[in-house]
Protein backbone atom coordinates (compact mmCIF):
# COMPACT_ATOMS: atom_id res chain seq x y z
CA UNK A 1 0.00 0.00 0.00
CA UNK A 2 2.74 2.39 0.91
CA UNK A 3 4.67 1.49 -2.19
CA UNK A 4 1.60 2.15 -4.38
CA UNK A 5 1.02 5.63 -2.90
CA UNK A 6 4.64 6.54 -3.46
CA UNK A 7 4.35 5.50 -7.11
CA UNK A 8 1.17 7.58 -7.65
CA UNK A 9 2.55 10.72 -5.94
CA UNK A 10 4.21 13.02 -8.52
CA UNK A 11 7.79 13.99 -7.96
CA UNK A 12 8.12 17.31 -6.07
CA UNK A 13 10.17 19.84 -8.02
CA UNK A 14 12.82 21.31 -5.72
CA UNK A 15 12.34 25.06 -5.17
CA UNK A 16 14.98 27.19 -6.82
CA UNK A 17 15.66 30.75 -5.62
CA UNK A 18 14.32 33.39 -7.97
CA UNK A 19 17.00 35.84 -9.10
CA UNK A 20 16.44 39.26 -7.60
CA UNK A 21 17.22 42.24 -9.75
CA UNK A 22 18.47 45.41 -8.14
CA UNK A 23 17.51 47.52 -11.14
CA UNK A 24 14.56 49.82 -10.37
CA UNK A 25 11.40 49.39 -12.38
CA UNK A 26 8.30 51.46 -13.02
CA UNK A 27 7.96 54.61 -10.94
CA UNK A 28 11.17 53.84 -9.05
CA UNK A 29 13.09 53.89 -12.31
CA UNK A 30 11.53 57.20 -13.32
CA UNK A 31 12.39 58.71 -9.94
CA UNK A 32 15.97 57.43 -10.08
CA UNK A 33 16.55 58.77 -13.59
CA UNK A 34 14.96 62.11 -12.70
CA UNK A 35 17.03 62.51 -9.54
CA UNK A 36 20.26 61.67 -11.31
CA UNK A 37 19.41 64.05 -14.13
CA UNK A 38 18.76 66.92 -11.74
CA UNK A 39 22.01 66.22 -9.89
CA UNK A 40 23.93 66.08 -13.16
CA UNK A 41 22.39 69.37 -14.32
CA UNK A 42 23.41 71.06 -11.05
CA UNK A 43 26.98 69.81 -11.41
CA UNK A 44 27.10 70.92 -15.06
CA UNK A 45 25.80 74.40 -14.20
CA UNK A 46 28.24 74.80 -11.30
CA UNK A 47 31.13 73.57 -13.40
CA UNK A 48 30.06 75.80 -16.29
CA UNK A 49 30.04 78.87 -14.05
CA UNK A 50 33.49 78.06 -12.71
CA UNK A 51 34.84 77.37 -16.22
CA UNK A 52 33.37 80.60 -17.58
CA UNK A 53 34.88 82.67 -14.78
CA UNK A 54 38.25 80.93 -15.15
CA UNK A 55 38.35 81.61 -18.90
CA UNK A 56 37.35 85.25 -18.47
CA UNK A 57 39.87 85.70 -15.65
CA UNK A 58 42.78 84.20 -17.56
CA UNK A 59 43.99 87.50 -19.14
CA UNK A 60 44.04 89.25 -15.76
CA UNK A 61 45.83 86.39 -14.00
CA UNK A 62 48.34 86.16 -16.83
CA UNK A 63 49.03 89.91 -16.68
CA UNK A 64 49.17 90.47 -12.91
CA UNK A 65 49.96 86.99 -11.63
CA UNK A 66 49.85 86.51 -7.88
CA UNK A 67 50.13 90.28 -7.40
CA UNK A 68 46.41 90.40 -8.11
CA UNK A 69 45.87 88.61 -4.78
CA UNK A 70 48.38 90.69 -2.82
CA UNK A 71 47.76 94.20 -4.16
CA UNK A 72 45.49 96.38 -2.01
CA UNK A 73 44.64 99.18 -4.46
CA UNK A 74 42.12 99.10 -7.29
CA UNK A 75 43.21 101.64 -9.88
CA UNK A 76 43.24 100.19 -13.41
CA UNK A 77 44.48 103.52 -14.85
CA UNK A 78 47.80 103.16 -13.00
CA UNK A 79 48.01 99.38 -13.47
CA UNK A 80 47.48 98.79 -9.75
CA UNK A 81 44.73 96.22 -9.45
CA UNK A 82 44.37 93.83 -6.53
CA UNK A 83 41.76 92.37 -4.22
CA UNK A 84 43.61 91.80 -0.95
CA UNK A 85 41.81 94.62 0.87
CA UNK A 86 38.52 93.55 -0.72
CA UNK A 87 38.98 89.97 0.46
CA UNK A 88 39.69 91.21 3.98
CA UNK A 89 36.53 93.32 3.85
CA UNK A 90 34.52 90.33 2.61
CA UNK A 91 35.81 88.17 5.44
CA UNK A 92 35.13 90.93 7.99
CA UNK A 93 31.49 91.41 6.96
CA UNK A 94 30.92 87.65 6.86
CA UNK A 95 32.56 87.16 10.26
CA UNK A 96 30.41 89.85 11.89
CA UNK A 97 27.30 88.36 10.27
CA UNK A 98 28.07 84.84 11.46
CA UNK A 99 28.96 85.95 14.99
CA UNK A 100 25.42 87.35 15.24
CA UNK A 101 23.48 84.86 13.11
CA UNK A 102 24.95 81.60 14.44
CA UNK A 103 23.88 81.86 18.11
CA UNK A 104 20.50 83.33 17.14
CA UNK A 105 19.84 80.59 14.59
CA UNK A 106 20.89 77.84 17.01
CA UNK A 107 18.79 79.24 19.86
CA UNK A 108 15.77 79.75 17.59
CA UNK A 109 15.97 76.22 16.20
CA UNK A 110 16.23 74.71 19.70
CA UNK A 111 13.34 76.81 21.00
CA UNK A 112 11.04 75.88 18.12
CA UNK A 113 11.81 72.16 18.40
CA UNK A 114 12.17 71.70 22.14
CA UNK A 115 10.36 74.46 24.01
CA UNK A 116 7.62 75.98 21.83
CA UNK A 117 4.08 74.71 22.22
CA UNK A 118 2.75 72.65 19.31
CA UNK A 119 0.23 75.35 18.41
CA UNK A 120 2.93 78.01 18.24
CA UNK A 121 5.47 75.83 16.43
CA UNK A 122 3.94 76.10 12.97
CA UNK A 123 3.55 79.86 13.34
CA UNK A 124 7.18 80.32 14.37
CA UNK A 125 8.36 78.14 11.48
CA UNK A 126 6.35 80.25 9.04
CA UNK A 127 7.74 83.48 10.47
CA UNK A 128 11.34 82.27 10.18
CA UNK A 129 10.76 81.03 6.63
CA UNK A 130 9.13 84.35 5.75
CA UNK A 131 12.34 86.15 6.72
CA UNK A 132 14.14 84.30 3.92
CA UNK A 133 11.61 85.62 1.39
CA UNK A 134 12.29 89.29 2.16
CA UNK A 135 14.35 90.88 -0.68
CA UNK A 136 17.92 91.83 0.16
CA UNK A 137 17.32 95.45 -0.79
CA UNK A 138 14.76 95.69 2.03
CA UNK A 139 17.37 94.53 4.53
CA UNK A 140 19.80 97.06 3.09
CA UNK A 141 17.33 99.92 3.47
CA UNK A 142 16.44 98.72 6.96
CA UNK A 143 20.09 98.68 7.96
CA UNK A 144 20.91 102.04 6.42
CA UNK A 145 17.95 104.16 7.53
CA UNK A 146 16.72 102.48 10.71
CA UNK A 147 19.58 100.60 12.33
CA UNK A 148 22.60 102.71 11.41
CA UNK A 149 21.86 105.60 13.86
CA UNK A 150 21.54 103.11 16.73
CA UNK A 151 24.39 100.83 15.70
CA UNK A 152 26.78 103.77 15.47
CA UNK A 153 26.17 104.29 19.20
CA UNK A 154 26.82 100.58 19.82
CA UNK A 155 30.05 100.87 17.83
CA UNK A 156 31.13 103.83 19.93
CA UNK A 157 30.39 101.91 23.14
CA UNK A 158 32.39 98.89 21.94
CA UNK A 159 35.26 101.19 21.00
CA UNK A 160 35.15 102.96 24.36
CA UNK A 161 35.29 99.80 26.49
CA UNK A 162 36.93 97.25 24.18
CA UNK A 163 39.06 99.53 22.07
CA UNK A 164 42.24 98.07 23.55
CA UNK A 165 41.56 95.10 21.27
CA UNK A 166 42.63 95.76 17.65
CA UNK A 167 39.33 94.33 16.39
CA UNK A 168 37.33 97.08 18.15
CA UNK A 169 39.73 99.97 17.59
CA UNK A 170 38.67 103.12 15.73
CA UNK A 171 40.88 106.11 14.94
CA UNK A 172 38.76 108.49 17.01
CA UNK A 173 38.19 109.55 20.61
CA UNK A 174 35.03 107.89 21.91
CA UNK A 175 35.06 109.95 25.13
CA UNK A 176 35.06 113.34 23.41
CA UNK A 177 32.26 115.74 24.30
CA UNK A 178 31.31 115.95 20.63
CA UNK A 179 32.19 112.51 19.32
CA UNK A 180 32.47 112.08 15.59
CA UNK A 181 29.53 109.90 14.63
CA UNK A 182 30.63 109.68 11.00
CA UNK A 183 33.61 107.56 12.06
CA UNK A 184 31.23 104.78 13.10
CA UNK A 185 28.75 104.76 10.18
CA UNK A 186 28.80 102.86 6.87
CA UNK A 187 31.06 100.24 8.43
CA UNK A 188 31.52 96.51 8.08
CA UNK A 189 29.84 96.08 11.46
CA UNK A 190 26.58 97.68 10.33
CA UNK A 191 26.66 95.78 7.04
CA UNK A 192 27.31 92.57 8.94
CA UNK A 193 24.27 93.11 11.16
CA UNK A 194 22.05 93.52 8.09
CA UNK A 195 23.55 90.45 6.45
CA UNK A 196 23.12 88.41 9.64
CA UNK A 197 19.35 88.91 9.49
CA UNK A 198 19.39 87.64 5.90
CA UNK A 199 21.34 84.44 6.59
CA UNK A 200 19.70 83.62 9.93
CA UNK A 201 16.57 81.89 8.51
CA UNK A 202 18.67 79.63 6.24
CA UNK A 203 20.84 78.37 9.09
CA UNK A 204 17.85 78.06 11.42
CA UNK A 205 15.82 75.99 8.92
CA UNK A 206 18.61 73.45 8.40
CA UNK A 207 19.33 73.14 12.12
CA UNK A 208 15.67 72.82 13.05
CA UNK A 209 15.05 70.08 10.48
CA UNK A 210 18.01 68.03 11.68
CA UNK A 211 17.17 68.51 15.37
CA UNK A 212 13.67 67.15 14.70
CA UNK A 213 15.24 63.88 13.45
CA UNK A 214 16.97 63.11 16.76
CA UNK A 215 16.19 59.48 17.79
CA UNK A 216 13.13 59.43 20.08
CA UNK A 217 14.46 56.31 21.81
CA UNK A 218 17.53 58.17 22.99
CA UNK A 219 15.37 61.10 24.12
CA UNK A 220 13.14 58.79 26.17
CA UNK A 221 16.15 56.95 27.55
CA UNK A 222 17.73 60.19 28.75
CA UNK A 223 14.46 61.28 30.36
CA UNK A 224 14.07 57.87 32.01
CA UNK A 225 17.52 58.28 33.56
CA UNK A 226 16.42 61.57 35.12
CA UNK A 227 17.78 64.08 32.60
CA UNK A 228 16.16 67.49 32.40
CA UNK A 229 14.98 68.99 29.12
CA UNK A 230 18.27 70.84 28.76
CA UNK A 231 20.09 67.62 29.63
CA UNK A 232 18.32 65.88 26.73
CA UNK A 233 19.28 68.72 24.40
CA UNK A 234 22.90 68.65 25.52
CA UNK A 235 23.36 64.88 25.50
CA UNK A 236 21.12 63.80 22.59
CA UNK A 237 19.93 66.61 20.32
CA UNK A 238 23.12 68.63 19.94
CA UNK A 239 25.47 65.64 19.38
CA UNK A 240 23.07 64.15 16.84
CA UNK A 241 22.55 67.48 15.08
CA UNK A 242 26.22 68.37 14.70
CA UNK A 243 25.99 67.82 10.96
CA UNK A 244 22.99 70.12 10.71
CA UNK A 245 24.72 72.80 12.75
CA UNK A 246 27.77 72.73 10.50
CA UNK A 247 25.70 72.48 7.33
CA UNK A 248 23.42 75.37 8.25
CA UNK A 249 26.36 77.50 9.30
CA UNK A 250 28.25 76.87 6.07
CA UNK A 251 25.14 77.59 4.01
CA UNK A 252 24.73 80.89 5.83
CA UNK A 253 28.44 81.68 5.45
CA UNK A 254 28.25 81.16 1.70
CA UNK A 255 25.34 83.58 1.51
CA UNK A 256 27.15 86.10 3.71
CA UNK A 257 30.29 86.00 1.55
CA UNK A 258 28.32 86.68 -1.62
CA UNK A 259 25.72 89.19 -0.43
CA UNK A 260 25.67 92.28 -2.64
CA UNK A 261 22.79 94.76 -2.55
CA UNK A 262 22.48 95.15 1.21
CA UNK A 263 26.23 95.68 1.54
CA UNK A 264 26.36 98.18 -1.34
CA UNK A 265 23.63 100.29 0.25
CA UNK A 266 25.33 100.47 3.65
CA UNK A 267 29.10 100.56 3.28
CA UNK A 268 31.31 103.45 2.23
CA UNK A 269 33.63 101.86 -0.38
CA UNK A 270 37.33 102.02 0.43
CA UNK A 271 40.40 99.95 -0.34
CA UNK A 272 42.21 100.32 2.97
CA UNK A 273 43.74 97.12 4.28
CA UNK A 274 42.32 97.00 7.79
CA UNK A 275 40.53 94.61 10.08
CA UNK A 276 38.49 97.18 12.01
CA UNK A 277 34.78 96.48 11.46
CA UNK A 278 33.60 99.38 13.63
CA UNK A 279 35.31 102.04 11.52
CA UNK A 280 33.81 103.69 8.45
CA UNK A 281 34.84 102.31 5.09
CA UNK A 282 35.22 98.80 3.74
CA UNK A 283 34.49 96.83 0.59
CA UNK A 284 33.59 93.30 -0.46
CA UNK A 285 34.10 91.34 -3.65
CA UNK A 286 30.43 91.28 -4.56
CA UNK A 287 29.99 94.98 -3.77
CA UNK A 288 33.05 95.80 -5.87
CA UNK A 289 31.65 93.91 -8.86
CA UNK A 290 28.22 95.53 -8.50
CA UNK A 291 29.65 99.02 -8.15
CA UNK A 292 32.18 98.86 -11.00
CA UNK A 293 30.46 96.56 -13.49
CA UNK A 294 28.33 99.18 -15.26
CA UNK A 295 31.12 101.45 -16.51
CA UNK A 296 33.98 98.93 -16.70
CA UNK A 297 36.26 98.73 -19.72
CA UNK A 298 37.10 95.28 -21.16
CA UNK A 299 40.29 95.10 -19.07
CA UNK A 300 38.45 96.20 -15.92
CA UNK A 301 35.64 93.74 -16.65
CA UNK A 302 38.17 90.92 -16.83
CA UNK A 303 39.59 92.01 -13.47
CA UNK A 304 36.12 92.05 -11.93
CA UNK A 305 35.39 88.57 -13.25
CA UNK A 306 38.70 87.43 -11.81
CA UNK A 307 37.60 88.72 -8.41
CA UNK A 308 34.35 86.80 -8.85
CA UNK A 309 36.32 83.67 -9.72
CA UNK A 310 38.37 83.99 -6.52
CA UNK A 311 35.19 84.37 -4.46
CA UNK A 312 33.67 81.38 -6.26
CA UNK A 313 36.70 79.25 -5.47
CA UNK A 314 36.73 80.29 -1.80
CA UNK A 315 33.03 79.52 -1.36
CA UNK A 316 33.36 76.19 -3.14
CA UNK A 317 36.34 75.25 -0.98
CA UNK A 318 34.52 76.12 2.26
CA UNK A 319 31.45 74.08 1.29
CA UNK A 320 33.58 71.12 0.22
CA UNK A 321 35.43 71.17 3.54
CA UNK A 322 32.14 71.41 5.42
CA UNK A 323 30.69 68.47 3.46
CA UNK A 324 33.66 66.35 4.52
CA UNK A 325 33.09 67.20 8.18
CA UNK A 326 29.34 66.60 7.92
CA UNK A 327 29.75 63.17 6.33
CA UNK A 328 31.49 61.95 9.49
CA UNK A 329 28.66 62.96 11.81
CA UNK A 330 25.62 60.86 12.72
CA UNK A 331 23.21 63.25 11.01
CA UNK A 332 25.52 63.82 8.03
CA UNK A 333 23.72 61.37 5.79
CA UNK A 334 20.55 63.41 5.96
CA UNK A 335 22.01 66.89 5.94
CA UNK A 336 22.26 69.03 2.83
CA UNK A 337 24.30 72.19 2.37
Per-residue pLDDT at 11 exceeds 80:
no
d(CA 243, CA 179): 46
pLDDT at 190: 94
> What confidence tier does 10 reach under pLDDT thresholds 50, 70, 90?
low
Reference 254, options 102, 137, 94, 113; nearest CA is 94
pLDDT at 70: 86
d(CA 202, CA 248): 7
Average pLDDT, whole number, for the chain?
85
Per-residue pLDDT at 14 exceeds 80:
no
Mean pLDDT across 9-14: 56
User: Does domain 71-173+181-334 fall into CATH 1.10.630.10?
Assistant: no
pLDDT at 93: 94
Phi, psi of 178 (to 5 degrees): -115, 85
Half-sphere exposure of 80 (CA within 13 A, CB side): 8
pLDDT at 334: 44
pLDDT at 94: 94
d(CA 288, CA 285): 5
> What confidence tier does 329 reach under pLDDT thresholds 50, 70, 90?
low
Per-residue pLDDT at 291 exceeds 70:
yes
Amino acid sequence: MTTQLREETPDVVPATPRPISRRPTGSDRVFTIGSRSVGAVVLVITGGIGLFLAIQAFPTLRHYGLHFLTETEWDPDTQKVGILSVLVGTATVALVAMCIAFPLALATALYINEYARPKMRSTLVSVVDLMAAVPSIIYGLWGFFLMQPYLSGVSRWLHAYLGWLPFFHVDSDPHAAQWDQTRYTSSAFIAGVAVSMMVLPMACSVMREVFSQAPPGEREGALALGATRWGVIRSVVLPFGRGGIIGGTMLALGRALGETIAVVLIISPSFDLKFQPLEVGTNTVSALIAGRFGDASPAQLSALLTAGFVLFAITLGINTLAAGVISRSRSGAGTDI
